[in-house]
Structure 1
């Protein structure tokens, strides 16, 4: 079994067909077929079943898949490590970020990084903490900004910034009664939908835990994939949300929304930068981390 045979196996699995794999590898179908048959003969198991539209993995092929992926990732990391002398970062760097962090914190970080590493092609993918952590573990992302704490033996998590979380409502709504016993508390806010990011969002989990602790049983959700969508619906009175204060402050200052303090135990969330412990850390990621530390330091936040 060698890495070339595994590359042919991966191409057929990813594209679902020998012809499509051959096109992706810029070779002929007979070459792909021969390499896969040689791999099957060596292993002693069929890796694909053939059907009218292409191929699909057998149970043995599914068991081989994660190892083939890891071999490919290790070879790519090895090439990167050999070429990376740390003096002049270049090439592609893929990172992930929460939507809120991308909106609030990343612009200044990326501006500093672009000045420091003009030859690096940076790709930023937004998503939930759960999804981004999975992509870092799979090797699809070099690192990601997510909500901590993150306790995983395969990951290094460096705290970057602590955010204050607040409940966000329409400007004419007071806090819901489960949050505040004050006369300003409103039944309307209590019965409103929870406007949240997709499942896997750490802020969403905290919001749901806060609601459950307050004894609220019947909860309706409205999911959005963007921060602007959430703030817009809250401003229109469609529902309420839980977000970092710094993210929603411009909308509050403009009179579009109102914010309400949370109990002390629920009001803080730490953004961490996670990366794989066993992976090579490219010079570009080292520089990006330095830029993030500088931009997210207490002194930088106070100056802003």
Structure 2
């Protein structure tokens, strides 16, 4: 097991370093087979005093709190901000969700994360969450693997367990 950005995990699969990986979609590569496993709903996360995306846009300089380059959430955040007429300054990169949420709660910047990840911080009143368009909010997590590699019995058994747990979230909205 290994964690990483979507880009680094895909590269590891393509280079035969991993049998497969869970990554944020979409993924289009001729050497990979992809299977949607679950869907996440993303939210823009800000300091609790920011009441709307419009208010954020009026604040001027927007600092983003993100994972390192290659993270698909980071790319999606840039798109969301651009749709609202905002351009982010140099991002602050972190390696943990707790550090990212702590910085957002302190008013250092904003981020885009799955609802489930920010739910506790939001319930505790540490951050504010803002809905984004369905197009920007829905992210399918895919299992990717090389098409030219045999799927072992262990890998298939693992996926047989993962599919029933996650599949209900893929019902079209």
Q: Compute the TM-score of the two structures, normalised by the length of structure 2.
A: 0.90
Does 1:161 pair with 2:31? Answer: no
- Per the alignment, residue 53 of structure 2 pairs with 176
After superposition, residues 89-238 of structure 1 pair within 5 angstroms as: 124-177=1-54, 185-186=55-56, 190-217=60-87, 219-238=89-108
Q: Which consecutive residues of structure 2, in runs of 5 or more, have no partner in the other structure?
A: none
- Per the alignment, residue 153 of structure 2 pairs with 283
Shift of 1:291: 1.4
Deviations 1:257-303 (A, max 9, x none): 1110002321111100001111011111111111111221327xxxx
Q: How many residues align?
A: 169
Shift of 1:155: 0.6
Distance 1:137 1:165 in 2: 27
- Per the alignment, residue 136 of structure 2 pairs with 266
Deviations 1:87-133 (A, max 9, x none): xxxxxxxxxxxxxxxxxxxxxxxxxxxxxxxxxxxxx1111000000
Distance 2:116 2:162 in 1: 17
Shift of 1:187: 5.7
Question: Is the contact between residue 45 and residue 112 of structure 2 (CA under 8 Å) also seen in structure 1?
Answer: yes
Distance 1:151 1:218 in 2: 27
Q: 242, 253, 257: which is aligned to 2:127?
A: 257
Distance 1:157 1:297 in 2: 14
Greater relative contact order: 1 or 2 (C-alpha under 8 angstroms, separation 6 or more)? 2
Distance 1:143 1:263 in 2: 30
Q: Which consecutive residues of structure 1, in runs of 5 or more, have no partner in the other structure?
A: 1-123, 178-184, 300-304
Bigger-Rg structure (1/2): 1
Runs of 4+, deviation exceeding 4 Å: 186-190
Higher helix share: 1
Shift of 1:157: 0.5
Shift of 1:215: 2.9
Distance 2:88 2:74 in 1: 16
CA RMSD of aligned residues (A): 1.7
Q: What's the secondary structure of 2:35's corresponding residue?
A: strand
Distance 1:218 1:248 in 2: 21
1:208 and 1:218, CA in 2 relative to 1: closer, same or farther beyond 3 A? Answer: closer
